[in-house]
Structure 1
Amino acid sequence: MAKLTKSKFSLQILTVFLISLSCLEPSQCLKSEVEALLEFKKLITDPLKHLESWKDSDSPCRFYGIHCDQEMVTGISLDNLSLSGQISPSLSALHGLTSLVLTSHSLMGPLPAELSKCLSLKVLNVSGNYLSGSVPDLSMLTNLEALDLSLNSFTGPFPGWVGSLTGLVSLVLGQNSYDEDEIPPSIGKLKKLQWLFLANSSLRGEIPESIFELEALGTLDICINKITGRIPASIAKMRRLFKIELYMNNLTGEIPAGVANLTDLEEFDVANNQMYGVIPEEIGRLKKLTVFHLFKNNFSGEIPSGFGEMQRLNAFSIYKNAFTGVFPQNLGRFSALNSIDISENRFSGPFPKYLCQGKNLQNLLALGNDFSGEFPDSYGDCSPLQRLRISQNRLKGSVADRVWALPNVQVMDFSDNGFTGRVSPSIAASLQLTELMLSNNRFSGELPQELGRLGLMERIYLDNNNFSGGIPSQLGALKQISSLHLEGNALSGSVPAELTNCPRLVELNLASNQLSGGIPRSFSNMASLNSLNLSRNQLTGPIPEDFDRIRFSSVDLSNNRLSGSVPPYFAMVAGDKALVGNDGLCLDEDEEQKRKFTDSALPVCVHQGNGHKSLTRSKLAMLCIVVVALIVFLVGLLFVSYRNFKKGEADWRMRDEKGVLGPWKLESFQQVEFDVDDIHGVDEDNLIGSGSTGKVYRLDLSKGCGTVAVKQLWRGNGVKLMAAEMEILGKIRHRNILKLYACLMKEGSNFLVFEYMSNGNLFQALHREIKPGKPELDWYQRYKIAVGAAKGIAYLHHDCSPAIVHRDIKSTNILLDEDYEAKVADFGVAKVADPSSPKGSEWSNFAGTHGYFAPEMAYSLKVTEKSDVYSFGVVLLELVTGRRPVEEEYGDGKDLVYWVSTHLGSREDVIKVLDRKAVPEPVQDDAIKVLKIATLCTTKLPNLRPSMKEVIKMLVDAEPGAGLRSPDSVGRNDKGLCLDHF
Structure 2
Amino acid sequence: MFLFYSSLLLLGLSIGLLLLVIPKLVSGCHEEEREALLKFKHGGLQNPENRLSSWGSSGNKDCCSWPGVGCNNSTTTRRVVKLDLRNTNLDEYGRPLLNFSLGGKIDSSLIHLQHLTYLDLSGSNFVNAIPDFFGTFEHLEYLNLSYSNFVGRIPNQLGNLSNLHTLDLGRNFYLTVDDDFAWASSLSSLLYLDLSRVSLSFSELNWLTNFSSLTHLYLSYGGFHGSMPPSMGNLTSLEVLDLSHNSIYGTIPASFSTNLCKLRILNLGYNTNISGIWQRWTGSICLANSLKELYLSGIDMRSSSTVLLSTIGNLTSLEVLDLSHNSIYGTIPASFSTNLCKLRILNLRYNTNISGIWQRWTGSICLANSLQELYLNGIDMRSSSTVLLSTIGNLTSLEVLDLRGNSIYGTLPRSLTSNLCHLRVLRLEGNSIRGMERSIRGLCNSLEELNLRGNQLGGDLQVLWAQISNISRTLKILDLSNNSLTGYIPYSSSNGGTMLPDVLEELYLDGNKLSGNVILQNIAKFSNLVTLSIKQNSLPIVITEDVLIKLERLEGIYLSKNRLVWKVKSRWLPPNIKRIYLSSSQVGPKFPLWLQHHQRGGVSVLAMSNASISDDVPDWFWKITTEMKILDLSHNQLRGYLPSIGMSTWYEILDLSNNSFYGPIPEDLCMLKSLQELRLSNNHFHGDIPDCWGKGGRNLFYINLSYNNLSGEAPRSLGNLPSLAFLHMRNNSISGEISSTTKNMKNLLVLDLAFNRFSRVPIPTWDTAGEDLSKLRILSLRSNMIHGNIPSEISQLSSLQFLDLSHNMLSGVIPISFGKLTGMSRKHNEKDKHFDFETPGFLYFSAIDSIWMNLKGVELENSGTLGFMNHIDLSSNNLSGDIPKELTHLLELVSLNLSGKIPTGFQLQTLNDSSVYVGNDNLCGPPLFRKCLTNDPPNMGKDGEEKRGKEDEIEIIGLFISIALGFVVGFWACCGLLIFKRSWRTWYYRFADEMMDKVFVTVAVRVGRLKRKFNKSAEI
Q: Select the structure with the greater relative contact order (CA < 8 A; seq sep ≥ 6).
A: 1
The TM-score, its normalising length taken from structure 1, stands at 0.47
Of structures 1 and 2, the larger Rg is shown by 2
The TM-score, its normalising length taken from structure 2, stands at 0.45
